[in-house]
Structure 1
Amino acid sequence: MSDVAAADGDRRLRVDLDVDPAADSGCPIVAESDEAASVTVNAVGDDCVVDVTTPDGEVRRGTGEVTDDCLCHAFGRVGCVPHFRRVEGGTVLVTAYVDDRTAVRRLVEELRGVVDRVRLVRLAVVEGPDATEQVTFDLSALTPKQRRGLELAVVRGYFDGDRDVRLSDLADELEISKSALSQRLRTAQAKLVTDIFDDAER
């Protein structure tokens, strides 16, 4: 992975997110085209200038006003830089590199405050001065219910040993039984582990 180096050779996380900007946000990333193969953003002062390359190679330039509710500011408040990959059907695929799972939770919470929807697509451990991906968790193989349960568990800190997060609380938030959530998480974790070992054998 060449577009980022781990800070001081430390382990970091790569986070891939699907983000739907709010319809009334005026974000030029999606205002120019709801499909884009690449996006370049230059936000300086109160002005944001975006170059959007459509799938057929046309480059469109859009402008917007920088506000506290801007997508980019949500990333900045967590201390990370967004890398906009593409736009599909108005949904922006964006990558960021963070130091730990706490930062992942903070980022998702910040984004939920300014966008219509945010969904965790992939987590990858990045390690060493060459920023080599060691472990990748591709969530696309999960069902929407499994993904939602796992995402909530990660965001709330259920898998962190130093946090007191109960499975029953997560189940209540999803409006399902504790046993149903437990089954979803077990199934999701099994799929992810299987995918990791399948990738390692290729």
Structure 2
Amino acid sequence: MSDPGLQISMAIDAPAGCPAGEASTATGTAVESVTWNAATDGPVTEEFTADADLDRDGVEPVFETDGRTRYRFERDWDEACACEMVELEGCPLEEVRAEDGRLHLRFYAPDVDRVREIVADLRERYGGVRLKHLSQSGEVEEQNLVLVDRNRLTDRQREVLETAYEMGYFEHPRESNASDVADTLDVSLSTFTEHLAIAQSKVLDAVVETD
């Protein structure tokens, strides 16, 4: 059997020029079933479904049922959008939706290195990129299954953990040191180490706590 793959869920904050993300901000409703054609010659046609009336130049309704409207728009193939950036890395998207200006993606990747490349590329383009979920395929013994409640962590603590992980801080040998991660987060070294220590403690509490 080949090496187990990864399932990834991530959110991208308000990707500029993404009508689906902009529509979710303008209407205050979730935008779902985002699709686009695979043509690379000429304009790209993209569609999404929303539970709201949308008045935006270049975005036209094509179908409506039960209060849900399917919208269509065209964009130039001059620069890959967030979704296409993921697929260009060889990871077809399983789900794309937008809510409150954030674009939510779910896809499968062969390994952590591929995920790091995707996150780095997206973060360079858009800035706000957050890993919401990462799971590995394979059988898991029920008695060893541990669920970690992410709500235990503050937004800042999650950001510190995710950034340190993506930069290889937890690798052996380390690919980045504490100062590198602190600089990326634009915080002092002491602030980084404090947030990291608290976040790690909260995660470990969930792993080692007993009845």
Q: TM-score, normalised by structure 1?
A: 0.74
Alignment counterpart, residue 74 of structure 2, candidates 54, 64, 69: 64
* Alpha-carbon separation, structure 2, partners of 1:140 and 1:85: 23
Within 5 Å, give how 1:48-197 maps onto structure 2: 48-54=45-51, 58-65=68-75, 66-115=77-126, 117-127=128-138, 139-195=150-206
Asked whether the equivalents of residues 30 and 90 of structure 1 are also in contact (C-alpha less than 8 Å), the reply is yes
SS in 1 for 2:37: strand
Change in CA separation of 1:69 and 1:86 when aligned onto 2, cut-off 3 Å: closer
Asked whether the equivalents of residues 84 and 92 of structure 1 are also in contact (C-alpha less than 8 Å), the reply is no
- Give percent identity, aligned residues only: 28
In the comparison of the two structures, how many residue pairs are matched?
A: 186
Deviations for 1:30-78, whole angstroms, at most 9, x for unmatched residues?
3544422632313221323213243885132222224423112210232
- Root-mean-square deviation over aligned CA pairs: 3.0
For structure 2, the 5+ residue unaligned runs are 53-65, 140-144
Deviations for 1:87-145, whole angstroms, at most 9, x for unmatched residues?
221212211211222122111112123335212222222226xxxxx766664432122
Structure 1 segments of 4 or more deviating over 4 A?
Answer: 134-138, 195-198
Asked whether the equivalents of residues 23 and 31 of structure 2 are also in contact (C-alpha less than 8 Å), the reply is no
Asked whether the equivalents of residues 13 and 129 of structure 2 are also in contact (C-alpha less than 8 Å), the reply is yes
AA aligned to 2:81 is C
Structure number with bigger Rg = 2
For structure 1, the 5+ residue unaligned runs are 1-7, 129-133
Question: Greater strand share, 1 or 2?
Answer: 1
